[in-house]
Amino acid sequence: MAAILLDVDGVFHVSGEPIAGGAEAVRRLRNDGHRLRFVTNNTTRTRADLAEDLRRMGLELDDDEVQTTPRAAARALSGKRVLALTMHAIVGELEGVELVGEDAAAVLIGGADETPETNLVFSFMNLARAFHELEAGAELYCLHKNRWWQTKNGPLLDAGAFVTGLEYAADTEAIVLGKPSTAYFEAALEALDADASMTWVVGDDIETDIAGAQAHGMKTVLLRTGKFRPDAVERGSVRPDGIVSSISQLPDWLEANLR
């Protein structure tokens, strides 16, 4: 029996459209005795909303099995004055963080989503404000640094571009709070009381999920759904332990390869 960290976006759905077989796969993995945790870099929905989205797709899970980046941010930034460029929906998750418009100790950059709110959050005015705070000594944090993600209309620019832009402009380096940071993976292992060497990470992102997990000593399965691109596997140096068509093939693959 293994501990399995399951990515969500591109694994169970793309833009909210379910990927076939996800609910059945989760049932089977649980019946096979595996311990599961849903590890997402989603930065635009609360944990309760994300869990509810998955339940609507037929998955059986509790809210507290979902691990989100805003909660990681709340742990890291509790008690600090923070200028947050994040979607309004996750502000409630930033418990204990003092959100301010100026004189910040930290600047926090969240992720983009598919709504027009992204235009407001990452406006020139807000990015220039963030730059000003960084120049005045604030530390730069981000929920993740993803370049893009897969939507039903194709790849969409993610907030990694803004994080990198601010790093460049302010000559600083952002602290990443979500996958593939050590703090994020350690929190997931702790929740499952699991050793990295006995843990599998399953996802569609060869950088964040697969390379990130390997760097932390975990085993990996890459799925050919969501943002999967064959060339990234063929041309790159990252070699997952397994590659399967979709989440629905995962239980069989694990059964054959876990011994």
Q: What are the tokens at 1? A: 């029996």
The site string for Mg ion over 205-224 (x = CB under 5 A, - otherwise) reads: x-------------------
What is the smallest separation between the CB atom of 205 and Mg ion, expressed in angstroms? 5
Binding of Mg ion at residue 133 (CB under 5 A)? Answer: no
CB closer to Mg ion out of 39 and 87: 39
Q: Where are the alpha helices (DSSP H) in the chain?
A: 22-31, 47-56, 69-77, 117-121, 124-135, 160-170, 182-192, 212-215, 230-235, 250-257
Chain centre distance of CA 91: 17
CB closer to Mg ion out of 68 and 82: 68
Nearest of 241, 152, 170, 151 to residue 203 by alpha carbon: 241
Q: Which amino acid is at 156?
A: L
Segment contacting Mg ion by CB under 5 A, of 4-12, 29-37, 111-119, 131-139: 4-12
The only residue of 7, 53, 113, 158 in contact with Mg ion, by rule CB under 5 A: 7
Nearest of 74, 50, 49 to residue 187 by alpha carbon: 74
Residue 51, SS3?
Answer: helix
Size of the site for Mg ion (CB under 5 A): 5
Binding of Mg ion at residue 9 (CB under 5 A)? Answer: yes
The site string for Mg ion over 186-205 (x = CB under 5 A, - otherwise) reads: ------------------xx
State the residues that interact with Mg ion by CB under 5 A. 7, 9-10, 204-205
